[in-house]
Amino acid sequence: MIFWVGIFGISLAVLIKAANVFTKAAEHVGLYWRLPPFVIGVTIVSLGTTIPELSSTIVATWRGATQVAPANAIGSNVANIALVLGLAALITPYFKTSWQLIKTELPILVGAVALTTLLLLDGVLALPEAALLLAAYFMYLLITLALRDKYRHHFHLPTLERRLIINWPKTVFKLLAAPAFIYLGAQFTVDALINLSALAGLSTGLMGATLLAAGTSLPELTIAIQASRHGKPELAAGNVLGANIMNLLFVMGVAGLIAPLTVSPAMITIGLPMMLIVTALYFLVNRDRRITKKEGFLLVALYIFFIAALVVFDFA
């Protein structure tokens, strides 16, 4: 088991690093061609943070582990709100959220959570339902672009008056090599996940909702901690909300087009209710535009309870 734990850690690190390299290279190309920084933010940067989830769920679904995608999406959403924002609130003296997030993106997340819950309650995400999730995502993207002046503060990208000078051979090499490492990282991550679940006697759905979800949430956790330490908690909140919307609508929608996705009993009984609870709780605590340390502690405690409940349910 130690061997596969090591393989999981190394492959996940390679996957996250390769996704970051690819995103930075693509961002530079976008800036070179003078694409509006906001457009780069809502497309390249947002997609880049979900590459680990997207690649691992595509590989898992392709290989027949159809429980992984819903479990990872649900687990990542719970982890991003309860663990990532909870920890960010604990290390930030005053975790403040902008009105734009509360009035625009947070209601969209609530709608995405409600839609996903309704579609997954029967235990299966069929192809037409996956297509509906993707349609909802592209509608969200259009809304975001239409409200770009309100969302502009999410993405701290430079506005260039002259064309960016980049090293084309190096950039092209990164754009070509990074996807190969993303693919290899995803393959070995899924291999390790399947073998660890078999050795531990746990379902792949449970491992997807816990180990994989927590691992693929590391980029969001890193951004949240850095943003909080630099006094920019709204950046952490915006990144988490955007990632959660993409995980539910885009990542699971793409995986659902490959094969019908199955939802484990643990996800229906514990995962979906907990996702609704943490989303509703985050909505409520943001009424005063901030998350206190007590509320941050409550969110982290809920995440610990979520993990413990899933393990107990799986063993029962």
Answer yes or no: is pLDDT of 168 > 90: no
pLDDT value for 268: 94
Answer yes or no: is pLDDT of 102 > 80: no
39-66 confidence digits (pLDDT tens): 565 566 667 778 888 999 999 999 999 9
pLDDT value for 37: 55
Please state the pTM of the whole predicted model: 0.84
Helices 233-245 and 68-78, packing angle to 10 deg: 160
Distance (Å, whole) CA 171 – CA 177: 10
Torsion of CA 109, 241, 262, 127, to 10 degrees: 60
Tokens standing for residue 82: 């309860």
Calculate mean pLDDT across residues 269-276. Answer: 95
Number of compact structural domains in the chain: 1
Q: Assign residue 183 the CATH number of its domain.
A: 1.20.1420.30
Q: What is the DSSP string of 214-228?
A: HHHTHHHHHHHHHHH
What is the overall mean pLDDT for the chain? 83
183-228 confidence digits (pLDDT tens): 889 889 989 988 888 888 878 888 888 888 888 887 777 777 777 6
Distance (Å, whole) CA 37 – CA 47: 14
Calculate mean pLDDT across residues 278-303. Answer: 85
33-40 long-range contacts (CB < 8 A, ≥24 apart) are 34/160, 34/163, 36/148, 37/155, 37/157, 37/158, 37/159, 38/148, 38/151, 38/152, 38/155, 38/157, 39/145, 39/148, 40/155, 40/157
Burial class, 175, CB count within 10 angstroms (exposed 0-12 / middle 13-18 / buried 19+): middle
Is 77:113 a contact under the CB 8 Å cutoff? Answer: yes
- Give strand pairing partners of 124: 262
Tokens standing for residue 48: 């880049």
Q: Which uninterrupted H or E stretch holds 125?
A: strand 124-125
Is 110:283 a contact under the CB 8 Å cutoff? Answer: yes
74-101 confidence digits (pLDDT tens): 999 999 899 988 888 888 766 666 666 6
Residue 307: which domain range? 2-315
Residue 220 corresponds to which amino acid? Answer: E
